[in-house]
Chains A and B, each alone.
Chain A
Amino acid sequence: MGVKLLLDKAHVAGIRHFDVYRREGGYRSAEKALQSMTPEAIVEEVKKSGLRGRGGAGFPAGMKWSFIAKPEGVPRHLVCNADESEPGTFKDRYLMEFIPHLLLEGLLVSSFALGSNDTYIYIRGEYAWIVDILETAIEEAKANGFLGKNILGTGFDCNIYVHRGAGAYICGEETALIESLEGKRGNPRIKPPFPAIQGVWNRPTVVNNVETLAAVVPIINMGGDAYAQIGVGRSTGTKLISACGNINKPGVYEIEMNLSVEEFIYSDEYCGGIANGKRLKACIPGGSSVPILPANLMLTTAKGEKRLMNYESLSDGGFASGSMLGSGGFIVLDEDQSIVKNTYTLARFYRHESCGQCSPCREGTGWMEKILINILKGKGQASDIDLLWDIQRKIEGNTICPLGDAAAWPVAAAIRHFRDEFEWYVNHPQEAQTRNYGLAHYADPIHVPA
């Protein structure tokens, strides 16, 4: 059993409520931070911990906090990103649903560190029942003096508000989220200015993921150095992984980042192996936007080393033979799954979610979807595969926000590693409608022009 820092108490009966949470040691980090530390010292501790953003990009949290502008007389805001819409990802939901006070505690400490008196949780609109859970928890914290005015007699005021979105993946992107918080369409902003300088209502704003902010609690309790001892290298601490697909035990797991992918998939403590005794075909380890890998490259790197569940190891080999930890949405495909169909559903997702501001993303995602459905239905041509490759190349890097890249990468990786299956669909259109292709033949990676 690895160390658990976030979910160790998630199963205690009644932990959703303040009294039980407090009895189990909750809000100690808030007392320590507010009563004995300066905001600067908290930022320092988070820097020392090596904590990296858990929303997908993995940017060091302490460094991000140190960028926040502090113009005289202008309020600053912390915004918690609970939009969680990346396919395969359902870890923030679990944390908020089962142990909401952990998030509130992390938000309180982080708000104190950043000087945010009004902090927002931007939550995806579909998580409607979690809004109630969070609002109840906020009321409890307020009634017990851990939110509201003059918290713990320190003179620090902090309110937390839940802002419910309304169905738009793009609002997870931090500048789109800010637009949405201002009551507008979720169109990402051009950066700079960065939110740390001009965010919501043109005020300095820090946006962090739910899990990132919850991790501040153990960091303050145990100290940044001790936190940094857990994990390996620059992948410090623990990570929540939401596992789904063809596995025996889908669910949310807190792991130490020195765990091997093989153990994660096959051991009974985690996914419990591939369902129905089938074989592993492919895996998308970090949410739908990260490259899909065939089984062999998932379990070991191209150099033949065991692949581990952390930032560095999962991206080892770059796009040629690696993937990314991303949001921790771990999707497993067995030998009966069609890579073409899976890629099609993801392409449809990105077309649906493109905000439409940039033509490469708006048009490109639509073309990719159309070409993929044609191939899937047995109406594709050999040239379509190269056309898909060409389109994704033209989207990547040419858009305002990274949704364009996120749409391009899954298609690129599917063609790179499973080209033989795409060709089979094109060359045997009728057969492809009647049976599965089966395990990959692991075609050599296609030549990628520089």
Chain B
Amino acid sequence: MPAFSPDQLTEFQRLVSHYPEGKQKSALLPVLHLAQNSFGGWLSAETMDYVADLLQIQPIEVYEVATFYSMYNLKPVGRYMFEVCQTGPCMINGSDDILAYIGEQLNIRPGETTADGMFTLKTVECLGACGYAPMMQMGKTYREHLTKEKVDAIIAECRANAATNN
């Protein structure tokens, strides 16, 4: 069974305190983000059961939500996730080429993770960065105005970052 650290538990309490007494289920979406960040970037059945237990709701209520929203990963993902937007405005500005280029560089297709567990490539729909297209989300940040050179630099940056932070 996974378990939050004391710091994570404090954050959990803060999130729950935003909602009225007895309405702690309202904290489910923010708490699932916390859980996903805390336990390897995805939500296993054990993690979801743990969250259900903490919020005193049924596990099914957690599964329902975790499967509905696109940001929750229900399978393990790579250390770095490239989520490339492909909706109209990004397509107009060349997202197809960027997506194909990342695929070639990492030798994976959208939805796949590299064999070394370093990168996952995913397509997503409009992220609210249409004026700075083409773009992708990487963790908590947006990488915008992407070019092939920028993609190369980002991949190198991730590799260097992984090497120093093991």
Contacts and interface: CB of A to CB of B under 8 A. Distances in A.
Interface string A71-93: 00001000000001111111011
Contacts of A90: 128-132
Contact of A125 (B23, B68, B69, B88): B69
A236 interface: no
A24 B93 CA distance: 38
B29 A185 contact: no
A250 B125 CA distance: 19
A333 B128 contact: no
A92 B129 CA distance: 11
A245 B93 contact: yes
B18 interface: yes
B131 A166 contact: no
B121 interface: no
Contacts of B128: 84-85, 89-90, 92-93, 124, 126-127
B33 interface: yes
Interface string B94-123: 000000000000000000000000000000
B86 interface: yes
A333 B92 contact: yes
B125 A331 contact: no
Contact of A251 (B27, B88, B131): B131
Interface stretch (B1-9, B74-82, B133-141, B152-160): B133-141
B37 to A, nearest CB: 10
A353 interface: yes
B144 to A, nearest CB: 10
A245 B134 CA distance: 10
Nearest to A251: B131
A346 B87 contact: yes
A331 B71 contact: no
The prevalent SS among residues of A at the interface is: mixed
A337 B92 contact: yes
Contacts of A165: 29, 69
A166 B91 contact: no
Interface residues of B, number: 42
A243 B131 contact: yes
B129 A166 contact: no
Interface string A92-129: 11000000000000000000000000101000111111
Contacts of A346: 87-88
Interface in A361-388: none
B30 interface: yes
Kindly name the residue among A126, A186, A242 whose own CB sees the greatest number of chain B CB atoms within 10 A: A126
Contacts of A88: 88-89, 126, 130
A128 B27 contact: no
Given A252-B131, A342-B88, A126 B71 contact: yes
Contact of A185 (B64, B86, B142): B64
A163 B31 CA distance: 10
B71 A87 contact: no
A349 interface: yes
A201 interface: yes
Nearest to B69: A166
B130 A183 contact: no
A245 B94 CA distance: 10
A164 interface: yes
A93 B130 CA distance: 11
B26 A182 contact: yes
Contact of A352 (B61, B92, B125): B125
Contacts of A184: 25, 28, 61, 64-65
- 10 nearest A-B pairs in the assembled complex, by CB-CB distance: A183-B28, A166-B69, A250-B131, A167-B70, A167-B71, A183-B25, A244-B130, A87-B126, A161-B18, A185-B68
Interface of A: 75, 84-90, 92-93, 118, 120, 124-129, 161, 163-169, 180-186, 201, 242-246, 250-252, 284, 288, 329, 331, 333, 337, 341-342, 345-346, 348-349, 352-353, 355
Interface of B: 18, 20, 23, 25-30, 32-33, 55, 57, 61, 64-65, 68-72, 86-89, 91-93, 124-133, 137, 140-142
28 contacts: A75-B20, A84-B128, A87-B125, A93-B128, A126-B127, A126-B142, A127-B128, A163-B26, A163-B29, A163-B30, A166-B33, A166-B69, A167-B124, A180-B29, A182-B26, A183-B27, A183-B29, A184-B25, A184-B65, A185-B64, A201-B23, A245-B92, A288-B87, A288-B126, A337-B92, A346-B88, A348-B125, A349-B126
